[in-house]
Structure 1
Amino acid sequence: MSELSQLSPQPLWDIFAKICSIPHPSYHEEALAEYVVGWAKAQGFWVERDQVGNILIRKPATAGMENRTPVALQAHLDMVPQKNNDTVHDFTKDPIQPYVDGEWVKARGTTLGADNGIGMASALAVLADNSLTHGPLEVLLTMTEESGMDGAFGLQPDWLQADILINTDSEEEGEIYMGCAGGIDFITTLPLQREAVPANFETLKLTLKGLKGGHSGADIHLGLGNANKLLARFLAAHAAELDIRLISFTGGTLRNAIPREAFATLAVDSHKVDALKSAAAHFQATLQNELGMKEKNVTVVSEPLAHQGEALTADSRDRFINLLNSTPNGVIRNSDVAKGVVETSLNVGVVTMAQDSAEIICLIRSLIDTGKDWVVETLTSLGALAGAKTAPKGGYPGWQPDADSPIMALTRKTYEALFGKTPNIQVIHAGLECGLFKKPYPNMDMVSIGPTITGPHSPDEQVHIESVGLYWKLLTALLNVVPEKA
Structure 2
Amino acid sequence: MSELSQLSPQPLWDIFAKICSIPHPSYHEEELANYVLSWAGEQGFVTFRDEVGNILIRKPATKGLEHLKPVALQAHLDMVPQKNNDTTHDFTKDPIQPWVDGEWVKARGTTLGADNGIGMASALAVLADKTVEHGPLEVLLTMTEETGMVGAFGLQPGWLQADILINTDSEEEGEIYMGCAGGIDFTTTLPLSREAVPAGYEHIQLILKGLKGGHSGADIHLGLGNANKLLARFLFAHAKALDLRLVDFTGGTLRNAIPREAMATLAVPADKLDQLKGMALHYLETLRNELGLKEKNINIVVENIAANDQALSTISRDAFIALLNSTPNGVIRNSDVMKGVVETSLNVGVVSIKDDEARINCLVRSLIDSGKDYLVETLTALGDLAGAKTVAKGSYPGWQPDASSPVMALVEETYKKLFNKAPNIQVIHAGLECGLFKKPYPDMDMVSIGPTITGPHSPDEQVHIGSVGLYWQLLTALLKAIPAK
SS of the residue corresponding to residue 179 of structure 1 reads strand
Distance 2:270 2:100 in 1: 51
Residue of structure 1 equivalent to 2:116? 116
SS of the residue corresponding to residue 365 of structure 2 reads strand
SS of the residue corresponding to residue 105 of structure 1 reads strand
Residue 199 of structure 1 and its aligned partner are, at CA, apart by 1.7
Residue of structure 2 equivalent to 1:179? 179
Residue 306 of structure 1 and its aligned partner are, at CA, apart by 0.7
Residue of structure 2 equivalent to 1:466? 466
Residue 263 of structure 1 and its aligned partner are, at CA, apart by 0.4
Residue of structure 2 equivalent to 1:79? 79
Deviations 1:84-107 (CA, angstroms, capped at 9, x unpaired): 010000000000000000000000
Matches within 5 A, 1:213-232: 213-232=213-232
Residue 262 of structure 1 and its aligned partner are, at CA, apart by 0.1
Residue of structure 1 equivalent to 2:162? 162
Residue of structure 2 equivalent to 1:443? 443
Residue of structure 2 equivalent to 1:416? 416
Distance 2:251 2:279 in 1: 20
Aligned residues: 485
Residue 308 of structure 1 and its aligned partner are, at CA, apart by 3.7
Matches within 5 A, 1:339-358: 339-358=339-358
Deviations 1:61-80 (CA, angstroms, capped at 9, x unpaired): 01111111000000000000
Residue of structure 2 equivalent to 1:300? 300
Residue 132 of structure 1 and its aligned partner are, at CA, apart by 1.2
Distance 2:393 2:186 in 1: 6
Residue of structure 2 equivalent to 1:453? 453
Deviations 1:187-231 (CA, angstroms, capped at 9, x unpaired): 000000000001211000000000000000000000100000000
The residue type paired with residue 9 of structure 2 is P
SS of the residue corresponding to residue 100 of structure 1 reads strand
The residue type paired with residue 52 of structure 2 is V
Deviations 1:319-356 (CA, angstroms, capped at 9, x unpaired): 00000000000000000000000000000000010110
TM-score of the superposition, structure 2-length normalised? 1.00
SS of the residue corresponding to residue 218 of structure 1 reads coil
Distance 2:32 2:200 in 1: 54
Residue of structure 1 equivalent to 2:309? 309
SS of the residue corresponding to residue 222 of structure 2 reads coil
Give percent identity, aligned residues only.
79
The residue type paired with residue 3 of structure 1 is E
Distance 2:326 2:470 in 1: 45
TM-score of the superposition, structure 1-length normalised? 0.99
Distance 1:267 1:353 in 2: 15
Distance 2:136 2:61 in 1: 4
The residue type paired with residue 139 of structure 2 is V
Residue of structure 2 equivalent to 1:291? 291
Distance 1:357 1:308 in 2: 19
Query: Structure 2: where are the runs of 5+ without partners?
Result: none
Distance 2:355 2:58 in 1: 52
Residue of structure 1 equivalent to 2:59? 59
The residue type paired with residue 350 of structure 1 is V
Residue of structure 2 equivalent to 1:24? 24
Residue 30 of structure 1 and its aligned partner are, at CA, apart by 0.4
Residue of structure 1 equivalent to 2:476? 476
The residue type paired with residue 54 of structure 1 is N
Distance 2:78 2:203 in 1: 40
Deviations 1:5-50 (CA, angstroms, capped at 9, x unpaired): 0000000000000000000000000000000000000000000110
Distance 2:151 2:451 in 1: 23
The answer as to whether partners of 1:183 and 1:431 remain within 8 angstroms in 2 is yes
The answer as to whether partners of 1:213 and 1:257 remain within 8 angstroms in 2 is yes
Query: Structure 1: where are the runs of 5+ without partners?
Result: none
Deviations 1:222-281 (CA, angstroms, capped at 9, x unpaired): 010000000000000000000000000000000000000000000011101111111111
Residue 2 of structure 1 and its aligned partner are, at CA, apart by 2.0
Residue of structure 2 equivalent to 1:205? 205
- The alignment yields a C-alpha RMSD, in angstroms, of 0.5
Distance 2:143 2:236 in 1: 40
Matches within 5 A, 1:359-378: 359-378=359-378
Distance 1:149 1:403 in 2: 25
Distance 2:424 2:121 in 1: 24
SS of the residue corresponding to residue 221 of structure 1 reads helix
Matches within 5 A, 1:374-389: 374-389=374-389
Distance 2:81 2:266 in 1: 29
Residue of structure 2 equivalent to 1:255? 255
Matches within 5 A, 1:35-54: 35-54=35-54
Distance 1:377 1:348 in 2: 16
Distance 1:427 1:92 in 2: 33
SS of the residue corresponding to residue 220 of structure 2 reads coil
The answer as to whether partners of 1:346 and 1:363 remain within 8 angstroms in 2 is yes
The answer as to whether partners of 1:247 and 1:308 remain within 8 angstroms in 2 is no
Residue of structure 1 equivalent to 2:189? 189
The answer as to whether partners of 1:178 and 1:402 remain within 8 angstroms in 2 is yes
The residue type paired with residue 270 of structure 2 is S
Residue 307 of structure 1 and its aligned partner are, at CA, apart by 1.8
The answer as to whether partners of 1:55 and 1:140 remain within 8 angstroms in 2 is yes
Deviations 1:389-437 (CA, angstroms, capped at 9, x unpaired): 0000100000000000000000000000000000000000000000000
